[in-house]
Amino acid sequence: MKYTTLPNTDIKVSKICLGSMTWGNQNTEAEGHQQMDYAFDKGVNFIDTAELYPVPATAETSGRTSEIIGTWLKKSGNRDKVVIASKIAGGGDYTAHIRTTGFRPSAIKEAIDLELKRLQTDYIDLYQLHWPERDTNRFGVRNFKLDNEWKDNFNEILHSLDLEIKAGRIRNIGISNENSWGTMRYLEESKHHNLPRVATIQNAYSMLTRTFETDLAEVSLRENVGLLAYSPMAFGVLSGKYIKGTAEDNARLKLFPRFARYSGDKATEAANKYLKIAKDNNMSLAQMSLAFVSQRPFVTSTIIGATKLEQLKENIASIDIFLTDEVLKQIDAVHQVIPNPAP
């Protein structure tokens, strides 16, 4: 395994982060434990969860993923050997079953209270805002519309998180599904008011979605805010199984066809071209896709997720793949012709 540190901290994390959002829905508790056992044995010390998980989000399952991590932490005794990241859900109709109070101080306190109980721990290493509270371009939205109803509360949010850090309940903070303006606003508030500094940003990034590079990559590198890249395999599209028609009936996009963000004609065309590059260079498309993300200079850790142990083994093994300049040029050539086919 390869390691780095969370920016502006002394916390060592594996370059592969174990995603968990299928545990409690597509995966049982036993399967979740099996995945954590295997990943830990392979040197993965970084696990990401959220109060929302598993996905799709429902009132019946909300928080179940973190409970599975909690029982594993208790059973294994590995709490001091792993880095746990979690998230507070933002507003929206699909999270009203969790709360409708946004990121106000009482909501942040309540969310952390409940998550600590689920995880069976007394601290969370990295606590993230799952998506902006204001209505802005997130989850693939392209056309910006100004949210005139939202009132600026960056300072209030950071003050609330500062209290939680001082209480020892969280150690560091991060953001997710955020844009450049929001990221810089958090950084400016922390700089001018001696408030906690955002260490990471968790956004979608893959060969099919490289919009992070347009402006957030510069923010990441110049301001030292590390990307935790999620969906590096584009909901499994970059495994090649949907292209080749080998996806099983319980595959994510077959179970939940509404998650079609990466399934358009242009995305499929690009994925086919990437599959050819992988074949020509004696790699699986999955491993090339993950290696591409992990090698980017702004990526702190690549979040992988799997429903099958064999998938997990292949994904973790991608850390040993090094893409040459020639392969990267071939990937970029496809990107020039079909740029960001998935938003």
How many CB atoms are located within 10 Å of the residue 58 CB? Answer: 13
Q: Which residues of 292-324 are buried (b: 16+ CB within 10 A; e: fewer)?
A: bbbebebbbbbbbbbbeeebbebbbbbbebebe
Structure tokens at 82: 């792993």
Residue 109 has a CB neighbour count (10 Å cut-off) of: 15
What is the β-pairing status of strands 83-88 and 46-48? parallel
Q: What is the DSSP letter of 96?
A: T
Instruction: Supply 50's token pair.
Output: 């959220």
3-5 and 12-14 beta bridge pairing? antiparallel
Catalytic status, residue 186: no
Q: Please give the structure tokens belonging to residue 297.
A: 């200079």
Residue 3 near residue 15 (C-beta atoms within 8 A):
yes
Q: Which of 53, 186, 230, 242 is catalytic?
A: 53
Tokens of 181: 């303006």
**What is d(CA 266, CA 24) in angstroms, rounded to the nearest whole number?**
33
Extract the tokens encoding 314: 């292949």
141: which DSSP letter?
-
Active site residues: 53
